[in-house]
Amino acid sequence: MLKRLAKKLFGGGPSVQRPEGFFLNVRCKACGEEFNLFINKSTELAQNFDEQGTVTYSLNKEIIGGGCRNWIYVKMEFDGAKNLVSREIKNGEFIED
Ligand SMILES: [Zn+2]
């Protein structure tokens, strides 16, 4: 009976592995164009060490759309567990869900 249960739990179809990440939704201040970028937390975050040797992560993103020549700069800071701590944006705004 246990065997059958295990098969049921683990024997399913191909396992879908979704990369850990989030969507960065921003709007261009100049023309209103919207961007929905998927940020992969395991490949796109830069690792930083502070004076105490604590690990933090950061993301710097430059976005330019087809609508105009405005560059949007996004800067995000994450803690050691890759939770968002702070974020800044220039020439654009964050779109809240
Ligand atoms: Zn624009």
- Distance from the CA of 58 to the center of ligand 1, in angstroms? 24
Number of domains comprising the chain: 1
Domain assignment present for residue 56? The answer is: yes
pLDDT tens sequence for the chain (97 residues): 556 655 555 555 566 667 799 999 999 999 999 999 999 999 999 999 989 999 999 999 999 988 899 999 999 999 999 999 999 999 999 998 7
Query: Do 50 and 79 contact (CB within 8 A), yes or no?
Result: no
> pTM for this one?
0.76
Distance, CA of 30 to CA of 67 (rounded, Å): 9
- Distance from the CA of 78 to the center of ligand 1, in angstroms? 27
* Per-residue confidence (pLDDT) for residue 19, from 0 to 100: 78
* Per-residue confidence (pLDDT) for residue 42, from 0 to 100: 93
- Distance from the CA of 63 to the center of ligand 1, in angstroms? 9
- Distance from the CA of 50 to the center of ligand 1, in angstroms? 35
Distance, CA of 38 to CA of 44 (rounded, Å): 10
* Per-residue confidence (pLDDT) for residue 74, from 0 to 100: 98
Domain assignment present for residue 8? The answer is: no
- Distance from the CA of 96 to the center of ligand 1, in angstroms? 18
- Distance from the CA of 15 to the center of ligand 1, in angstroms? 39
The parent domain of residue 74 ranges over 17-94
Domain assignment present for residue 5? The answer is: no
